[in-house]
Amino acid sequence: MGFNSFNFILIFMPVLLVIWHILNRAKKNTLADVFLTLMSLYFYYSFGSSFLLTLILSLAVNYGLSYLMERNAALRKPARIVGVLFNLGLLFYLKYLGFFLDNLSLITGKTLTAKDILMPIGISFFTFGQISFIADRAKGEAPHYSFLDYCLYTVYFPKLIQGPIAFHKEMIDQFKDKSLRSFNSDTFARGLMSFIIGLGKKVILADTLALSVNYGFHYTYYMDTLTIIAVMLAYTFQIYLDFSGYCDMANGVSMMLGFRLPVNFNSPYKAATAKELWQRWHMTLSRFFIKYVYIPLGGSRKGKIRTVINVLIVFVLSGLWHGAGWTYICWGLMQGLLVVWDDLGIIGVDDGSKDDPSKRPKKYLLREKPFFMVPRAVGNALTFFMFIVSLVFFRSQDMTYAIQMFKQFFFWTYPGFLYRTASQLKIPENYIFRQLFSQLGISWGENLVYMVTLIVLLAVSGFIMTRRNTKEIVESTTFKTREVIGLAIVFIWSFISLSDVSTFIYFQY
């Protein structure tokens, strides 16, 4: 039962919101928290009963370790070690054991296999959240919360299966704030707006682009240069619209409950450097690695070489976090190398700042200022291009397919496969045009419709990336008539399209 499902929109969400606000209006705050916790557990249970058991086990162990720290301060360090090892061990067993054994088999020549293990949805998200809690508890930066508070923080369904990775204080402080319990019509309306925009991103655009993307990556060996360009552009837009769309919906539901989730996206495709992109993309994952990996490794305090190594470690781990495969590791390593390149200061991006460059603080590893500067528009284009290239690794089935994708790109062939790839866009929205050409007896008419559909989808997606993001739109809206009508159209269109609903890309992480 994802956010983009009839059950969630027609049953789960209305029941949740009505009862939640009734209980809080009656000052039954504790009962409201119990209700929200149980609804969150049910939401997760809808994806599989075994998933729920894993979540409860993880929650119980981490809370038990927090209790031990509370009873005896001397146990903080060993409890932290046990907690981190338990969380990483659970994550390794459920997500990485198969990958590890496959590679060990190649090295030893012996066949090593693991039993079929069904990885719980969103395990990387709630595991990292609990690691942050245990680490902060051991350092005295987090109190021993009541079981209900900690349970609600851990299982809070808007962030549970696809993030953002919210720190304990960010959420529990809000749960305890009684002023947020009162129904606020303005906040509720803006939350609904965020949900509708996210639903439109996912259902109307991301899921439609996925039709051509999935086909193209399945038939990698047949793709020509032009098809690869179209498919990679489509995937670049799809992954952003899919993930940010989920975050918009999650934050929308949370706002309707009265709470705010941490921002996870801030128009990443507007970035002019790889370093800036990672300050805008999946921001809560980046800050987790900075706080709990990069800084403990020494950050930038132990020399230039060590800084480079630390950056690469963080990005390789980020790649592994996204998936158990060499393609993800290569993707993470490539992103790390791009960030290191930015840090070297060989090429800088002119951001139009009028302040004295000599007064700016040192921020490059090799030089105080870059050898030469490029306009921000050039930086945007180069950063976007390199991100697209890196996604070849991220999306390919394995390294063989990724390498083949690059080979196909550099050897120009007749773009006949582009028509087949575009023909996957046989959607209700272009039915009338397809029928018109069919009635007129124009044989090439359908292909033209599919090609135009693909071009329009790419153009609309690219246009959206250059405009204000959902957070900016929601915060600035005055709910004018045309805005309300526009939202109604998006919601109706999305709702009608739910019959072909698909899961979110980041569910697997």
In this structure, what token pair is assigned to residue 450?
Answer: 């599919």
* Residue whose structure tokens are 């957070």: 471
10/44 Cα distance (integer angstroms):
18
Please give the single-letter amino acid code of residue 197: I
469 contacts 243 by C-beta, under 8 angstroms:
no
Question: For 63-106, how does the pLDDT look when each residue is reduced to its tens digit (9 = 90+)?
Answer: 999 999 999 988 999 999 999 999 999 999 988 888 888 888 88
* Range 150-172 average pLDDT: 92
- In order of 85, 193, 298, 352, 475, the CA distances from 268 in angstroms are 33, 21, 27, 19, 19
Rounded to the nearest angstrom, the gap between the alpha carbon of residue 198 and the centroid of all alpha carbons in its chain is 13
pTM, two decimal places: 0.90
463/457 Cα distance (integer angstroms):
10
Instruction: Say which DSSP state 205 is in.
Output: I
Binned at pLDDT 50, 70 and 90, residue 508 comes out as: low
- In order of 64, 137, 143, 202, 275, the CA distances from 67 in angstroms are 5, 10, 10, 41, 39
Question: For 105-158, how does the pLDDT look when each residue is reduced to its tens digit (9 = 90+)?
Answer: 888 877 777 677 778 888 989 999 999 999 999 999 999 999 999 999 999 999
Task: Compute the C-alpha angle 250/252/253, nearest 5°.
Answer: 70
Residue of 206, 263, 285, 210 whose CA lies nearest to 470:
263
pLDDT at 348: 83
Question: For 269-312, how does the pLDDT look when each residue is reduced to its tens digit (9 = 90+)?
Answer: 999 999 999 999 999 999 999 999 999 999 888 888 899 999 99
**Among the ranges given (231-245, 330-344, 348-362), the one the predictor scored with the smallest mean pLDDT:** 348-362
pLDDT exceeds 80 at position 46: yes
In this structure, what token pair is assigned to residue 254?
Answer: 């949370």
* Range 401-407 average pLDDT: 90
509/164 Cα distance (integer angstroms):
12
Number of H helices, E strands in the chain: 24, 2
508/120 Cα distance (integer angstroms):
8
For the chain, what is the mean pLDDT?
A: 89
* Residue whose structure tokens are 């998200």: 125
Residue of 61, 60, 63, 23 whose CA lies nearest to 39:
23
pLDDT exceeds 60 at position 53: yes
